[in-house]
Amino acid sequence: MTDDSTTVATPAWARAAAWAALPAGGAGLGWVVHQLPDWILRVPFAPMRGPLRLAARLPEPEATIGALLLGALAGLVLAFLADRESLTVRMSHTEVTLKRPGTVRTVPRGEVAVAYRERDRLVLLGRTGRELAREPSHLASARLARLFGPVWSERDPYADAYRRWVPGLPDVPAEAEALFLARQRALDRGDGDDATELRGELARLGLVVRDEKKRQHFRVTG
């Protein structure tokens, strides 16, 4: 059996470069931060001279090694977070597979009516406007447009149908209201996983949600 699928992915060299460059850059930044107390103390009337003197007197080479290691560790964390958004989109005759490290989502190809980018997200919609998938993506729009062909859109075709959620809207069912309230609390405390899970619960009620600066906007699907 032949594999006629087509794949668009973040190049392996770009992922490897991020894993190499971000820790190295973090180590360099750690060294700069380590040197700051000495540099600032040379400035007359610099504030907080007492704490800066203490930082400048830390024993060497332990202080420098510690600063380099902490910077490199911060770079590794950034590389991990960036790699989590390295999306691979594979399209076969029957399905669209969206794969990131640790996450795989499959959508029947025949159900995809619209595909578009919303900032740093790839969004797939069904024929009734229902959201089928929303995944982080830094893939170029031109590559995605060639992959999805006629279902690709340069913008959300339902963009004008959204309205902002506020507590107490008369046409929002009680169950959805409770989910919106819980999701707003998740957004306010920066809990992205909980907000994503609650978005899925709202989708099951026929509501598509998007966020703008921690404000929820929604539309009703057909």
Tens digit of each residue's pLDDT (9 = 90 or more) over 154-166: 999 999 999 999 9
Alpha carbon separation from 170 to 177, 199, 206, 210 (Å, rounded): 10, 20, 17, 20
**Inside any domain, residue 5:** no
Domain termination residue (choose one: 157, 175, 202): 157
Total tally of structural domains belonging to the chain: 3
Q: Are residues 135 and 167 in the same domain?
A: no
Query: φ, ψ for residue 184 (rounded to 5)?
Result: -65, -40
Residue 70 CA to residue 124 CA, distance in Å, equals 40
| Widest distance between CA atoms in the chain | 76
Q: How buried is 168 (Cβ within 10 angstroms: 0-12 exposed, 13-18 middle, 19+ buried)?
A: exposed
Residues 172 and 131 in one domain: no
Residue 4 domain-assigned (yes or no): no
Mean pLDDT rounded to a whole number for the chain: 84
Chain centre distance of CA 99: 14
Residues 32, 73, single domain; the answer is yes
The mean pLDDT of 51-58, rounded to a whole number, is 54
Rg (CA), the chain: 24
Does residue 3 belong to any structural domain of this protein?
A: no
| Residues 46 and 16 reside in one and the same domain | yes
Distance CA 4, CA 47 (A): 66
CA distance 30 to 80: 18
pLDDT at 42 over 70: no
Other CB atoms within a 10 A radius of the CB of residue 61 amount to: 8
Q: Which of 60-64, 126-130, 171-175 has the weakest average pLDDT?
A: 60-64
Confidence of residue 2 (pLDDT cuts 50, 70, 90): very low
Residue 90 has pLDDT above 90, yes or no: yes
The span from the CA of 135 to the CA of 89, in Å, is 10
List the domain range (segments joined by +) for residue 209. Answer: 160-220
Same-domain pairing of 27 and 61: yes
Q: What backbone phi and psi angles, to 5 degrees, belong to 61?
A: -90, 10
In a domain, 1, yes or no: no
Residue where one domain finishes, among candidates 106, 135, 157: 157
For the full predicted model, state whether its pTM sits above 0.75: no
| 75 lies in the same domain as 51 | yes
Q: What pLDDT band is residue 3 in, cutting at 50, 70 and 90?
A: low
